[in-house]
Amino acid sequence: MKASVIGATGFAGAELVRLLLGHPQAEIAMVTSESSTGEMLSKMYPHLRDRLDKRLTSMQDIHTIADVSDVIFIALPHGHAMKIGKELRNTDVKIIDLGGDYRFKDYRVFEKWYKVEHVDPEAKAVYGLVELYRDKVKQAKLVANPGCYTTASILSLVPMLKYKLIKTKGIVVDAKSGTTGAGRSLKLGNLYESVNESFKAYGVANHRHTPEIEQAYSEFAGEDVIIQFTPHLLPLDRGIYATCYAELKDDVTDEQIENAFNEMYGKEYFIRVLGKGGVPELKNVRASNYVDLGWEVDRRTNRLIVMCCLDNLVKGAAGQAVQNMNVMFGLKEQMGLEALPIYP
């Protein structure tokens, strides 16, 4: 397959290039950047030296890119992918958007939270969390790659909501991210001296991933679910760690909880269920497409506590996008993603 990456100079775009270079059935057709057009991507990212001898082009002539591509990955900030998707609606190329433009069933939710008019509200996008929507992804032409916080948060509690083991009121998601989750652009709050030996919450009560999590929770619960979501910034390069709290329904047993997780994830290649008392660690998923998930019950408060972690640039972005590509093209789902986490 010939794959092109729109926005290859961001952290997610560069990670996508790295993964595609190791994919046995993928060939990189074009890489683009509006700010660095004409430069060699390997000059900007020396770890790609001697593996990708391509200059960055402009995405202005998107039809030329589509003509030489079987799949286009869009690794741009929100507001751009919907214009590309609309422009390429009548072409054969498949699109995987790593941004937020197509993640919502109701485009008005996007407009409310992202403060941008949606120019492609009639698009038929599939939410690309493969472990939950595999059959739909197989048939999709346009896939919305989930966010990093959302992937960890959704996978944590969806089994509990599906099997009606927790109450839908009062769910709390307390999540942490490495600094690469904020992108590559220079921001005062992400400089070394700002994050080193520090820890802070941000986007309190208004983070854009909130409605994305609520959308999935509500679907599997069969009713509207409103959550409390608070993200935090860790002084790390990579990683997402979500700790999710929910009140159990009456008389729910540990066995029921264990069975629900195993029923949904027991055969999933990339989800490693650690079980009751299992506490995942970021080091054990670093640079991989794996998700580690453990849980505990506090019987004093009757609350379930689910802990889930992943690499925000791999399973939280580029790796998940490649996983979606594999499913869309009928390939082995873990192709190009089988590398174990790096440790330490």
Q: Can you give the CATH number for the domain in which 32 is found? A: 3.40.50.720
pLDDT for res 306:
99
Residue 141 lies in a domain: no
Task: Tell me, yes or no, whether 67 and 194 share the same domain.
Answer: no
pLDDT for res 183:
78
Segment 27-38, tens digit of pLDDT: 999 999 999 999
> Do the beta carbons of residue 154 and residue 225 sit within 8 Å?
no
Task: Tell me, yes or no, whether 97 and 157 share the same domain.
Answer: no
Task: Tell me, yes or no, whether 287 and 158 share the same domain.
Answer: yes
Task: Tell me, yes or no, whether 238 and 303 share the same domain.
Answer: yes
Residue 212 burial (CB < 10 Å; 0-12/13-18/19+)? buried
Task: Tell me, yes or no, whether 256 and 109 share the same domain.
Answer: no
Residues of the chain with pLDDT under 70: 186
Residue 245 lies in a domain: yes
Task: Tell me, yes or no, whether 117 and 200 share the same domain.
Answer: no
3-class SS of residue 248: strand
* Domain range enclosing 158: 149-312
Instruction: Report the distance separating Cα 166 and Cα 179, nearest Å.
Output: 32
Task: Tell me, yes or no, whether 111 and 164 share the same domain.
Answer: no
pLDDT for res 184:
74
pLDDT for res 257:
98
Q: Active-site residue numbers?
A: 148
Domain total of the chain: 2
Residue 341 lies in a domain: no
Task: Tell me, yes or no, whether 270 and 199 share the same domain.
Answer: yes
> Do the beta carbons of residue 103 and residue 74 sit within 8 Å?
no
Task: Tell me, yes or no, whether 87 and 11 share the same domain.
Answer: yes
* Count of beta carbons in the 10 Å neighbourhood of residue 283: 13
What pTM value is reported for the model? 0.97
Please, where are the H alpha helices in the chain? 11-21, 41-44, 62-67, 81-87, 107-114, 130-138, 148-162, 192-195, 210-221, 254-265, 319-328
Task: Tell me, yes or no, whether 84 and 215 share the same domain.
Answer: no
Residue 229 burial (CB < 10 Å; 0-12/13-18/19+)? buried
Task: Tell me, yes or no, whether 227 and 278 share the same domain.
Answer: yes
Going by C-alpha positions, the residue among 338, 245, 235 that lies closest to residue 19 is: 338
pLDDT for res 133:
98
Task: Tell me, yes or no, whether 188 and 232 share the same domain.
Answer: yes
Residue 112 lies in a domain: yes
CATH number of the domain enclosing 205: 3.30.360.10
pLDDT for res 340:
97
pLDDT for res 185:
72
Domain boundary among 73, 105, 123: 123
